[in-house]
Amino acid sequence: MPEIAEVETVRNTLKKRILHKKIVDFKVFYTPILLDDENYFKENLIGKEFIDIKRIGKWLLFETETHYLLSHLRMEGKYYLKQEDDIIEKHEHVEFVFEDGSDMRYHDTRKFGRMKIVLKEHLYEFEGIKKQGLEPIDERLSKEYLKEKFQKRNLPMKTLLLDQTIISGLGNIYADEVLFDARISPFKKGCDITLEKCERIKKSAKKIIELAIKDGGTTIRSYTSSLGVTGRFQTHLMVHQKEGEFCTICGTKIEKVFVGGRSTYYCRKCQDTFEISLEQYYLDLLGFQKMPEFLTKYLSVPCLLRLKKVGYFCGMDYASKHIYSFKEYISRYDHSLSVALLTYKLTGSKKEAIAGLFHDVATPSFSHVIDYMNGDYITQENTEEYTEKILKNDSELQKLLELDHIKLEEIINFKAFPVVDNKRPKLCVDRLDGIITSAIGWTKNMTQKEISEIINHLAIYENEEKEEELGFTSMAVAKKVVSINKEIDKLCHSTEDNYMMNLLATITKRAIEKGLLTYEELYTYHEIECFEILNNAEDKELQNLLKTFRTIRNVPATSYPEIKRRKINPLVKGKRMMIEKNA
């Protein structure tokens, strides 16, 4: 089906070939294509010439002095430029004959295309034009516009992107590509799309359509131009018609599903599948009606935004499905935001909340894989030395901190706030959220009801060292958290996890040795950028390692050095549990 890029290519091509040619005859061989009487077309076309060709969405507008001939190509419509004495071929339904003996023919194997004649002043009275939404390349298309259109719609995003009253010109191909580029699930409901996701959709739609127009559209089996123009955008397609092929970003197989009756291609790992945004989930869970205003301005700081594409599970979201089966993709940004909100809920301190928000900015791509590279199996704190450097290099963050009268050093030294972070086996917000996050996505042994119960039984106590520490008001809840943490620790010490962490460490180390990445770039690139570099590497051994990482079914039995034990021994009503066996 021709979409906005293909229709724009037809428009640009025809403008060079048929403008200012007098129309001497108009012939119709299949009248249902015309939305007006055939004689009305003849009266307003014969003796006239097209002075311009415009486009609104997927509608072509052939302009005369007084009227527009509107043409929608639908599924298979094409225009051929021939000579009048050439034989009329099958499926050529309309012929425009020009004074110089040339003609333009409308060809449509499915006969779905439509044409209409309207006076210029009545153009926007025609339903097909009047209801058109903004185009992807329209400067008026904003995140606020999209949010307004989506917020009351309980339909999947794939369906909404095909709604021409919202975004005009997107069809099945580009809707798939836009959602992939924006990392949004085709199943996600419009009413659950955040303003930030609207911004991603806006940017992705503009980028993809501009590139597609530049490349002359997409030439695939379902639509091929007839004007000597071969679209090249199909060479850029990431998911559409790629069923069974490996995602070039993460290596997961592209899946084909049906959404709203339309074939849809997507990557299960790269495109988030949360039923509601994690941001909204956290706000609802902690009883916030909206994001605290003082936090909002910090959410677009560059060093924090990078964490949206750094996964919580150390790059294993992209590993073999036979080894890992995470429920959801959860990013370090999600974790950081949760830490900030919970800290603010418990302490009421804006400073501590902001420190919590930025406590993970020095997380490299693949997170603790770098500890395996460096042999830091026990403390796993190799990355934290970069915190100061990253925060000092973010000028936007420093400006915001100045406005809030907060010293940068206080955010760098986030460990000065023991509610945010402290040493094991004590409990802190960072550690508790790590347990909850792992239980949601990895071990899958914690329900939403249990999460709410945990949050409702939290308190801050003074511990044996006379410092503040997070604890529980209920022994039963404390025991539940300790038990779940034990299951997570067991997985972290499993042969499978150690093998895969070491394998990705080997891959990353080889990429650095081959000059594909630098050690420092692990702290500036996000994981998708890193995998793009790895995937495009011409090193055969590296590609073999990547293939193993993505497809391995059974890991070999291997011994590994002792790694970090994730013990906790929390306070309950101000007193230590002292359950060393389970701690």
Q: Residue 149's closest CA among 186, 207, 203, 193? A: 193
The DSSP bridge partners found for residue 98 are 23
Task: Note if 58 is an active site residue.
Answer: yes
Q: How many residues does the chain have?
A: 583
Can you tell me which residue has the tokens 């996964």? 311
Radius of gyration of the chain (CA): 29
- What single letter denotes the amino acid at residue 439? A
Residue 474 φ then ψ, to 5°: -130, 125
Q: Exactly one of 2, 136, 156, 364 is catalytic; which is it? A: 2
Residue 70 CA to residue 383 CA, distance in Å, equals 61
Question: By three-state DSSP, how is residue 68 classified?
Answer: strand
Task: Enter the tokens of residue 559.
Answer: 């011994």
Q: Exactly one of 58, 188, 480, 566 is catalytic; which is it? A: 58
Q: Is the peptide bond before 302 cis (omega within 30 degrees of 0)?
A: no
Residue 309 CA to residue 272 CA, distance in Å, equals 11
Q: Exactly one of 189, 203, 253, 262 is catalytic; which is it? A: 262
Under 8 Å between Cβ of 1 and 223? yes
Residue 312 φ then ψ, to 5°: -70, -25
Q: ∠548-496-431 over CA atoms, to 5°?
A: 120
One DSSP character per residue, 69-107 reads: EEEE-TTT-EEEEEETTSPPPTTEEEEEEETTSEEEEEE
* Residue 444 region by backbone torsions, left for phi larger than 0, else alpha for psi between -120 and 50, else beta: left
| Neighbour count for residue 578 (Cβ, 10 Å) | 9
Task: Note if 262 is an active site residue.
Answer: yes
Question: By three-state DSSP, how is residue 414 classified?
Answer: helix
Residue 324 φ then ψ, to 5°: -120, 140
Residue 360 CA to residue 187 CA, distance in Å, equals 30
The DSSP bridge partners found for residue 266 are 255
What residues contact 576, with CB distance under 8 A and at least 6 apart? 463, 464, 569, 570
Helix residue ranges per DSSP H, 439-567: 448-456, 475-492, 495-513, 527-535, 540-551
Can you tell me which residue has the tokens 């995998």? 531
Residue 461 CA to residue 346 CA, distance in Å, equals 11
| Neighbour count for residue 150 (Cβ, 10 Å) | 23
For the annotated catalytic residues, the residue numbers are 2-3, 58, 262
